[in-house]
């Protein structure tokens, strides 16, 4: 950690408008039960309980019939979600416009990442405290990486040097992220994460190493793994 914790306050946006088709569940993955609570409840509690958070915005599908706001110790508000993640995040940023200054920090975190450690959140806030742009949590790729064709045949082995898995939260200056997302969408580019929008605008986000248990629940086998991680974190 390069600097002491020095960010007085920050904002958070959680895109939660996805339907989670790969889970094949009866409801969106963020509403599945996990250790006695919904996945999204764990996620929002971990964000909402962290010091310095000024406001929390959740982007919800307009046809969502499962949403109910959990109790968190910070102001929580909702906005309509968009067609893709980038639209939902931008809707959340627009909700904060007029309250958040351009130089304020905003953290975007996946609704289906309920195992975020407080120490990883501290590391992100501390490492980037004086950074002009921002960055994201990530994990160095340890496995051998292969590129395949559409049939699944291996074409080549790719060097993993310098390769990272992008995690969340991703943390950027409010005004810069808002402008970068607008520019990407106006160009017809539906970026898959906030860092991609920042990169597209010509900036270089900083990668901050996190922990591997900060998993995103995507497939059915991820749910029991997340339950195990949460139990281990509570025992630590």
pLDDT in tens, 128-146: 999 999 999 999 999 999 9
Asked, for residue 212, whether it belongs to a domain, the answer is yes
Q: How confident is the model at residue 7 (pLDDT cuts 50, 70, 90)?
A: low
Give me the pLDDT at residue 9, please: 80
Beta bridge pairs of residue 129: none
Asked, for residue 5, whether it belongs to a domain, the answer is no
Give me the pLDDT at residue 53, please: 94
CA distance 30 to 112: 5
CA distance 57 to 91: 9
Give me the pLDDT at residue 141, please: 95
Asked, for residue 213, whether it belongs to a domain, the answer is yes
Q: How confident is the model at residue 22 (pLDDT cuts 50, 70, 90)?
A: low
Give me the pLDDT at residue 5, please: 45
Number of domains in the chain: 1
- 74 with 28: CB under 8 angstroms? no
Ranking 3-17, 104-118, 164-178 by mean pLDDT, the lowest is: 3-17
Asked, for residue 4, whether it belongs to a domain, the answer is no
Asked, for residue 227, whether it belongs to a domain, the answer is yes
Nearest CA-CA partner of 58 in 100, 97, 95, 21: 95
Angle between helices 39-48 and 118-127 (to 10 degrees): 50
Percent of the chain whose pLDDT exceeds 70? 94
CA distance 176 to 190: 17
Give me the pLDDT at residue 26, please: 79
Give me the pLDDT at residue 27, please: 87
Asked, for residue 2, whether it belongs to a domain, the answer is no
**Whether residue 103 has pLDDT greater than 70:** yes
The DSSP element (H or E) to which 184 belongs, if any, is helix 174-186
CA distance 151 to 129: 45
For residues 89-111, give the mean pLDDT.
96
Asked, for residue 111, whether it belongs to a domain, the answer is yes
Give me the pLDDT at residue 1, please: 38
For residues 69-86, give the mean pLDDT.
94
Domain range enclosing 61: 10-235
Phi, psi of 170 (to 5 degrees): -115, 135
Give me the pLDDT at residue 19, please: 74
Give me the pLDDT at residue 12, please: 97
CA distance 131 to 173: 9
Give me the pLDDT at residue 199, please: 98
**Whether residue 219 has pLDDT greater than 70:** yes
Asked, for residue 1, whether it belongs to a domain, the answer is no
- Pull the structure tokens for residue 70: 């959990």
* pLDDT tens per residue, range 179-208: 999 999 999 999 999 999 999 999 999 999
Ranking 18-22, 162-166, 169-173, 189-193 by mean pLDDT, the lowest is: 18-22
The structure's pTM equals 0.93
CATH number of the domain that residue 71 is part of: 3.90.550.10
């Amino acid at each position: 950690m390069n600097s002491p914790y020095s960010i007085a306050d920050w904002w958070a946006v959680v895109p939660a408008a996805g339907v989670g088709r790969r889970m094949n569940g009866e409801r969106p993955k963020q509403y599945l039960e996990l250790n006695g609570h919904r996945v999204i409840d764990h996620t929002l509690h971990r964000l909402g309980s962290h010091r310095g958070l000024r406001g929390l915005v959740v982007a919800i599908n307009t046809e969502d019939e499962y949403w109910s706001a959990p109790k968190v110790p910070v102001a929580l508000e909702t906005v309509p979600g968009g067609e893709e993640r980038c639209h939902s995040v931008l809707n959340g940023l627009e909700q904060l416009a007029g309250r958040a200054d351009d130089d304020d920090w905003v953290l975007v975190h996946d609704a289906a990442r309920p195992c975020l450690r407080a120490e990883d959140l501290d590391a992100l806030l501390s490492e980037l405290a004086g950074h002009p742009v921002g960055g994201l949590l990530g994990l160095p790729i340890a496995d051998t990486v292969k590129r395949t064709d559409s049939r699944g045949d291996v074409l080549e082995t790719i060097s993993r040097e310098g390769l990272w898995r992008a995690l969340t939260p991703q943390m950027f200056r409010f005004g810069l992220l808002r402008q970068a997302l607008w520019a990407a969408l106006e160009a017809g580019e539906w970026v898959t994460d906030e860092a991609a929008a920042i990169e597209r605008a010509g900036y270089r986000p900083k990668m901050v190493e996190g922990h591997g248990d900060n998993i995103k629940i995507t497939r059915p086998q991820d749910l029991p793994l997340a339950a195990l991680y949460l139990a281990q974190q509570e025992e630590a």
